[in-house]
Chain A
């Protein structure tokens, strides 16, 4: 049947896009979990990651995997620097001040980026070639396979770090209750710094993968995916890692369906509509628990 066929094809596309949202959303959710900040600049970190990957492949002539790793590492450092310079001095300031600062950082990354690389979109070189797999009439192309593979590997790695390592335990403790964690001898500053490193390098991976998938990158490319990844994080329950992944994939699928069956101009509206519905119906998200404010 034609409709079913198209539906499944859109699902495949949706999951690829959703994996990218999931990678960005993980960083959002980790950072929010620990310092209760909507890091508005997170989408722009992802943009920087995409450009670093681009220059790694083009200027340095690296293969895609080393370029990806270098981009992740350098972007991770950038995330740490942003935290140190812009957010750390405001750790005890009102949340609105930090939110405004994050908006400032976002602009700063976008437009210094634009100043240096020009606003013109760049074409990401074809690093995969024209491979595609035909599974029972459904097309999965090489780029999508790469996205799935990298996403799964990174998520496995993140799960390992969070569940098994000392750093991961400290992160979980700090996101549960920063002050108590500090009393128990956890160096909160270091944990926050590392959280920014990990979150930013995941966003960088997403940036490079998007470059490979859509072939084109530009200095403002981070705005929309950044906002949508935030929607994904809220949908899954902000602060909850598996929630970010599930939220990202659901969002990707819904968008692909809206674009495929309605009109691609409504794609962005769909994401925001989901956000508002979630916030109104269950602000703690799919995986979140309800809490009572103490008076």
Chain B
């Protein structure tokens, strides 16, 4: 039992070392503005992908409207900081709470649907959220919300990302997480084993939405202006691609997916069509040759060599 805790600690320390290195490079002026922005986007996207993975990958509820919850977090956050001058952390938490509440309210009725019906319904709900925001004059309507203070920096997004990763990792490695995974594997059997399937589907959906809300708050405060157009279902598909590419049911996979997709997007920024064609072909070929994604259900910490090193560092009693 101590070894589990020590392993968590080891991973936290590794996480902090990576932070130190990148933060050092940023402070030392070794990373230009373009890549700084992309590093921040990677962290935001990791939060989006991992939280979507909790819903799609671990719980098996195919949701494709995740950008809607991000939008809620963004708008609540920018109103909190810009109009009410609340501290950033409060704005982020408010955004998470509102997105979470909305996720709960939406999830309760919709999660009765299965598979492709749920997919279309979540897509529709994501669009409805966006259209409603577009019609609220108070937040700038279709033109967007202007004058957002630039509060996001690498430390904020990295910290939020670490918290998200630990939260979701600990969740899925518990009885609650197993209940979600059981739903994905076989809903009828899960119910027969005493799992309140509705409760856990809604719980996964709510947690996923809340973290998307945090990602939204971080995303919005990186820019001077946000508009409803940042949260169309194309954005939702982007997160879906990260999850599917990395592996539905793997946190490592979502991190890798967020990396790859953000890099490709950055590298091909001036060739948007080519970028989308590559995504399209990647999705199709992935379904042909590796439908479980790059990592499947695997975590990098389970690969034997890495596991050995980790066990050594954290001193697992054999």
Contact = CB atoms under 8 A, between A and B. Distances in A.
Contact of A96 (B62, B188, B284): B62
Kindly name the residue among B112, B113, B115, B273 whose own CB sees the greatest number of chain A CB atoms within 10 A. B273
B297 interface: no
B237 A93 contact: no
Contacts of A93: 287, 291
Contact of B280 (A90, A95, A108, A119): A108
B283 interface: yes
A295 interface: yes
A269 interface: yes
A193 B13 CA distance: 57
Interface string A251-295: 000000000000101101101110110011001000000000001
A276 B121 contact: yes
Contacts of B166: none
B276 A110 contact: yes
B128 A273 contact: yes
A108 B291 contact: no
B273 A38 contact: no
A97 B281 contact: no
Contacts of A127: none
Given A100-B244, A279-B117, A115 B277 contact: yes
A68 B238 CA distance: 35
A104 interface: yes
Contacts of A107: 237, 276-277, 279-280, 283
Contacts of B115: 95-96, 99
Interface string B219-258: 0000000000000000001001000100000000000000
Interface in B264-292: 272-274, 276-277, 279-284, 286-288, 291
A37 B291 CA distance: 17
B188 A295 contact: yes
Interface stretch (B46-54, B131-139, B157-165): B131-139
Contacts, number: 114
A104 B125 contact: no
A38 B116 contact: yes
Contact of B131 (A95, A99, A105, A265): A265
Nearest to A119: B273
B121 A269 contact: no
Interface in A103-117: 103-108, 110-112, 114-115
B246 to A, nearest CB: 13
A186 B244 CA distance: 36
Contacts of A271: 124
Contacts of A124: none
Given A90-B288, A115-B277, A272-B127, A283 B120 contact: no
Nearest to A115: B273
Interface in B42-63: 62
Nearest to B276: A111
A21 interface: no
A94 interface: yes
Q: Of residues B121, B142, B240, B286, which shows the largest number of chain A Cβ atoms within 10 Å of its Cβ? A: B121
B284 A275 contact: no
A104 B117 contact: no
Contacts of A269: 127-128, 131-132
A216 interface: no
Nearest to A112: B277
A273 B110 CA distance: 12
B31 interface: no
B294 interface: no
Interface in A49-103: 86, 89-90, 93-101, 103
B79 interface: no
A108 B142 CA distance: 28
Contacts of B131: 265-266, 268-269
Nearest to B192: A295
A230 interface: yes
A106 B135 CA distance: 29
Given A37-B116, A275-B121, 20 more contacts: A38-B120, A90-B287, A98-B287, A101-B283, A103-B240, A103-B283, A104-B279, A104-B283, A108-B280, A108-B284, A119-B273, A231-B124, A268-B127, A273-B124, A273-B128, A275-B120, A276-B124, A279-B113, A279-B117, A295-B188
The 3 closest A-B pairs by CB, nearest first: A272-B124, A104-B283, A107-B280
Interface of A: 37-38, 86, 89-90, 93-101, 103-108, 110-112, 114-115, 119, 227, 230-231, 234, 263, 265-266, 268-269, 271-273, 275-276, 279-280, 283, 295
7 contacts: A86-B284, A107-B237, A112-B277, A269-B131, A269-B132, A276-B109, A295-B188
